Amino acid sequence: MLDFFTIFSKGGLVLWCFQGVSDSCTGPVNALIRSVLLQERGGNNSFTHEALTLKYKLDNQFELVFVVGFQKILTLTYVDKLIDDVHRLFRDKYRTEIQQQSALSLLNGTFDFQDDFMQLLREAEESSKIRAPTTMKKFEDSDKAKKPVRSMIETRGEKPKEKGKNSKKKGAKKEGSDGPLATSKAVPAEKSGLPAGPENGVELSKEELIRRKREEFIQKHGRGMEKSSKSTKSDPPKEKGKKAPRVWELGACANKEVLDYSTPTANGTPEAALSEDINLIRGTGPRGQLQDLDCSSSDDEGAAPNSTKPSATKGTLGGMFGMLKGLVGSKSLSREDMESVLDKMRDHLIAKNVAADIAVQLCESVANKLEGKVMGTFSTVTSTVKQALQESLVQILQPQRRVDMLRDIMDAQRRQRPYVVTFCGVNGVGKSTNLAKISFWLLENGFSVLIAACDTFRAGAVEQLRTHTRRLSALHPPENHGGRTMVQLFEKGYGKDAAGIAMEAIAFARNQGFDVVLVDTAGRMQDNAPLMTALAKLITVNTPDLVLFVGEALVGNEAVDQLVKFNRALADHSMAQTPRLIDGIVLTKFDTIDDKVGAAISMTYITSKPIVFVGTGQTYCDLRSLNAKAVVAALMKA
């Protein structure tokens, strides 16, 4: 039983609707438009919303959308056939009204489609009932039953008859290669005094075979012994001893005392060395502002002047024919027209580090978007597909929710509570380093920061945050802020409960008047159930305002696996009724990938969450905000 079937234009005008139940179809259809159609996720024609399954079909020629909804616990095999039949009949019946392409004509048009729809629905239901159930094949009908039992029985010591022909060739090859005195593939019977084997009609006895193999082994072993004796005479054994220290050309020796250039310190790094490197630590960039990400490389600038030279040398006639080649001339696009172009686009996306499954879904979404669309006279299939793919990628990188940390922090200040951010991710992606960069950015904007050291597992994690805190305090000393401590580390050592430390840090920040609490967690693999349970407990107990997943820009298919399993683990191990999932992404090591920026597409497509920060270097100023158009331009660059 269908819950509803609706037909509407891409402009939002509902042309016709069938209601099978009393519930309104507005909510599910709006969710489909908001989550799939506007987000360019049309690779799959099915969408699940609460207890309903929605299937849809796009008519790009007339800009129509056909949507059917039914309960997801039902298995309706006729839905695909029904939606195709309704699409075909409705388009043919009301072609003239739809072709006027004006909202007024669509509003004034009368689409009396109820009787036609009910007839199509009855036919689809009856066709699904008529279909005979598939029966299992009996053993008598299988190939195994036709095989005689005698052919399956093998007697020990006997050779199968069907292998008799091949055994002659294999035996001849083996004797020819293994026998040291053989000059041909078969060993002559005269030399050995024995019959050659099955090819002469007489099989060798067991004792004769053993004797022949023994003679061949003795001959081989004798040659091997002669070679080994020669090698032992030529290579005398080396005397083992201790490794001598390396002596360099200028006379220096590789001793520990000579090579130790570190300054002796009493309690950690001396403050004098820190003041010398303070500009190097800070980096260069506008203070308190996040620059947009720039994906252009030096190779592009060098190649730009030379790119116009080959085109100038081409003939005028050849350039004219090259320009006119591939024009589609006002015809509607089909799957066959786009197939070769989409295959190249898919391979190009995978080469740029986009996950393979997501590249396939993107190309399928573009194909559904363009299928049946009428092209202009001077438009090529390649340029049309490329432009549609670019628009889809830009739309994906601009998700539904935008994270504005500064606005949210000021809102938390008005409520007199600290703004809490939790960082999570796998091992070695740069959580602590990028936490320090975000701390510096917040300090530059005038907010005080408390860093909670909740990585109580990795050796050196607390010392790393202590070093960052000392450097950030040197960049923003209390004297410059009226004696107010702008950055402080809250730590309880190693081996403690991370959720308890985070709770104490938030309470401490509330009492001391800190604006932001940045919670650093231990790196964990997405398959480690105990550590994922601990992370879910930390997030559930402390309810942070923002949960940021830190991921590398170097990963491809692994990005999909990490984000899917992190979200699934947070949902499964959470004790809350509505579990808290990832709110945003921090993309690190972006300066190491050149134009292979596909990880940004993979992560955003999987989670529908925005990329809040992008790490591009080692200094505190190497933090950027995502520029969607620049990323897409780098992704589409050949």
Structure confidence by residue, pLDDT tens digits, 17-33: 888 887 778 888 888 88
Apex 212 CA angle, 209 and 215, nearest 5: 150
Q: DSSP 3-state assignment of 253?
A: strand
Q: Residue 232: which residues within 8 A CB-CB, separation 6 or more?
A: none
Q: How confident is the model at residue 64 (pLDDT cuts 50, 70, 90)?
A: confident
Query: Which of the 8 DSSP states describes residue 515?
Result: S
Q: Collapsing DSSP states into helix, strand and coil, what is residue 325? A: coil
Which residues, at least 6 apart from 400, have a Cβ–Cβ distance to it below 8 Å?
Answer: 34, 35, 39, 608
CA-based angle 611:617:623, to the nearest 5?
A: 40
219-228, 449-458, 552-561: lowest mean pLDDT where?
A: 219-228
pLDDT value of residue 512 = 93
Predicted local distance difference test score (pLDDT) of residue 281: 65
- Residue at 444: amino acid letter: E
Overall size of the chain counted in residues: 638
pLDDT digits (tens, 9 = 90+) for 385-411: 888 899 889 888 887 778 889 999 999
> Mean pLDDT of all residues in the chain?
77
Q: Which tops the pLDDT comparison, 125 or 44?
A: 125
At 354 the three-state DSSP class reads coil
623-625 and 611-615 as β-strands: parallel, antiparallel, unpaired? antiparallel
Q: Which helix (H) or strand (E) holds 19?
A: strand 14-19
Q: Is 265 helix (H, G, I), strand (E, B) or coil?
A: coil
Q: What are the pLDDT digits (tens) for 562-586?
A: 888 888 888 888 777 778 889 999 9
Q: Which ranges constitute the DSSP H helices of 131-158?
A: 143-146, 149-152
Instruction: Collapse the DSSP code of 304 into the 3-class scheme (helix H, G, I; strand E, B; otherwise coil) and give the result.
Output: helix
Tell me what the mean pLDDT of segment 195-207 comes to. Answer: 56
Per the CB < 8 A criterion, the answer to whether 355 and 43 are in contact is no
pLDDT of residue 129: 75
**Is 70 exceeded by the pLDDT of residue 87?**
yes
Q: Is the per-residue pLDDT at 269 higher than 70?
A: no
Q: Which segments within 394-534 are labelled E, that is strand?
A: 419-424, 449-454, 487-490, 516-521
Tens digit of each residue's pLDDT (9 = 90 or more) over 204-230:
677 778 888 888 888 776 655 555 554
Q: What is the pLDDT of residue 152?
A: 62
- pLDDT value of residue 514: 95
**Strand ranges (DSSP E) for 37-114?**
46-49, 52-59, 64-71
**Cα maximum dimension of the chain:** 109
Statement: residue 268 has pLDDT above 60:
no
pLDDT at 282: 66
Measured CA to CA, the distance from residue 29 to residue 10 in angstroms comes to 12
pLDDT at 530: 87
Read off the DSSP letter of residue 520: E
Q: What does the pLDDT look like over 230-253, one tens digit per residue?
A: 444 444 554 545 556 666 565 555
For residues 9 and 103, give the distance between their C-alpha atoms in angstroms, rounded to a whole number. 9
How confident is the model over 468-512, as pLDDT tens digits? Answer: 999 999 999 999 888 889 999 999 989 889 999 999 999 999 999
- Could you read off the pLDDT of 5-20 as tens digits, one per residue? 999 888 888 888 888 8
- The encoded tokens of residue 341 equal 């172009």
**Which has more pLDDT, 86 or 575?**
86
DSSP result, 576-629 = SSS-----EEEEE-GGGSTT--HHHHHHHHHH---EEEEE-SSSTT-EEE--HH
Q: Does residue 306 surpass a pLDDT of 60?
A: no
Q: Is the model's pTM score more than 0.85?
A: no
What gap in Å lies between CA 356 and CA 346, rounded to an integer? 8
Distance CA 617, CA 620 (A): 8
Q: How many helices (H) and strands (E) does the chain have?
A: 27, 14
Rounded CA separation 338/343 (Å):
9
Q: Which residues in 358-385 are b (16+ Cβ under 10 Å) and which e?
A: bbbbbbbbbbbbbbbbebeeebbbeebb
Rounded mean pLDDT of 614-622?
90
H or E element at residue 509: helix 498-512
Q: Shortest CA distance to 491 belongs to which of 464, 515, 513, 530?
A: 464
Give the whole-angstrom CA distance, residue 278 versus residue 473: 11
pLDDT at 316 over 60: no
